[in-house]
A = this chain, B = another copy of it.
């Protein structure tokens, strides 16, 4: 969709420096963008590409504007301004409401007249689908689910019975919401299934990545509050609660009954064990294992970064002998005390 640069500036609240009539039809990186394309400079490591960019316009900080060879949109948050501009250049595809003839929709399901149910999707009894909802091909929505207005199940999403989505949620392909939690009681060595009777409930504006799984609660619900964003291949166990606007990267996992606060970020492949309470504004590095509650805002880490294999092998051996080293240290301190008559400070 082509938009005049002046209109884009106004739409995203940026200051225009240059010709308002330039037509923007696409986006690109500083290196690759050409005529008709908008770019942005947010990460300083890309500043070196600014001088030679052939983009039709660049969104950037005031401080970077002097070096910009093309029309500029000045913003205090260029990446945010870019996000808003790109959303105008690439609006979500509109769709004709209706029900594809190959969809299987139960009679008792309430489908808003403005919603779309795609081919080979299955909508069970008692489901409620709000206005403007898009249910792509191959989705399965089990009994008594509720899908809030303008939500989008991209394709091949599974919502197990009773799952509730707020408004404007986006669920990517392969995600499974509301499967049974991993609840097992042990009967002299055999595992007995514990019925999982809670639900999955999502607030508004929640986005769930491809092949991510969110289990239903055992007793109470598993809850993701407004604005939570989950990447791909994430596991959320039963009775987890995630606060507003918390974002988690791919491959991370949260075990049962852990509560995470608002505005947290969780790095990729990071895991939280069960029954923890994490406060607001806590941030966890990638590939970290969180084994205790952190109530304070802060930045937490716990991984061993990759190194050359020879150095790593030596390190592992040293770690195995760390106990021995500690004992030697103790003996040395004692020996020094004997020699000098003084304890080490």
Contact B251 A235 (CB under 8 A): yes
Give the number of residues in A that approach B within 8 Å (Cβ atoms).
130
**Does A232 belong to the interface (CB within 8 Å)?**
yes
How many whole Å from A312's CB to the nearest CB in chain B?
4
Q: Which residues of B contact A120 (CB under 8 A)?
A: 104, 120, 122, 138
How many whole Å from A231's CB to the nearest CB in chain B?
4
Q: Which residues of B contact A124 (CB under 8 A)?
A: 137
Contact B140 A155 (CB under 8 A): yes
State how many copies of this chain the complex holds.
3
Contact A298 B309 (CB under 8 A): yes
A184-198 interface bits toward B, Cβ cutoff 8 Å, 1 = contact, 0 = none: 111101111111010
**By CB atoms of chain B within 10 A, which of A210, A294, A328 has the most?**
A210
Interface-forming stretch among A14-22, A60-68, A108-116, A172-180? A172-180
In the complex formed, the residue of B with least CB distance to A262 is B189
Contact B191 A227 (CB under 8 A): yes
Contact B215 A232 (CB under 8 A): yes
Contact B331 A323 (CB under 8 A): no
**Does A49 belong to the interface (CB within 8 Å)?**
no
**Does A35 belong to the interface (CB within 8 Å)?**
no
Contact B326 A332 (CB under 8 A): no
**Does A142 belong to the interface (CB within 8 Å)?**
yes
- Residue from B160, B185, B291, B309 within 8 A of A299 (CB atoms): B309
**Does A229 belong to the interface (CB within 8 Å)?**
yes
Q: Which residues of B contact A45 (CB under 8 A)?
A: 275
Contact A300 B289 (CB under 8 A): no
**Does A29 belong to the interface (CB within 8 Å)?**
yes
How many whole Å from A94's CB to the nearest CB in chain B?
14
Cα–Cα distance between A250 and B273 once the two chains are bound (Å): 11
Asked, given contacts A191-B245, A194-B82, A215-B232, whether A316 binds B322 with beta carbons under 8 Å apart, the answer is no
**Does A203 belong to the interface (CB within 8 Å)?**
no
- Residue from B118, B122, B286, B289 within 8 A of A304 (CB atoms): B289
Q: Which residues of B contact A71 (CB under 8 A)?
A: none
- Residue from B87, B287, B298, B335 within 8 A of A195 (CB atoms): B87
Contact A302 B300 (CB under 8 A): no
A117-154 interface bits toward B, Cβ cutoff 8 Å, 1 = contact, 0 = none: 01110101000000000001110101000000000001
Contact B232 A32 (CB under 8 A): no
Contact B182 A209 (CB under 8 A): yes
- Residue from B294, B312, B321, B325 within 8 A of A302 (CB atoms): B312
How many whole Å from A166's CB to the nearest CB in chain B?
14
- Residue from B77, B138, B332 within 8 A of A333 (CB atoms): B332
**Does A52 belong to the interface (CB within 8 Å)?**
no
Given A319-B322, A325-B326, 6 more pairs with CB closer than 8 A: A140-B173, A191-B247, A288-B306, A301-B313, A332-B336, A335-B336
Q: What are 5 A-to-B residue pairs whose CB atoms are below 8 Å?
A: A102-B102, A104-B120, A155-B160, A255-B286, A336-B339
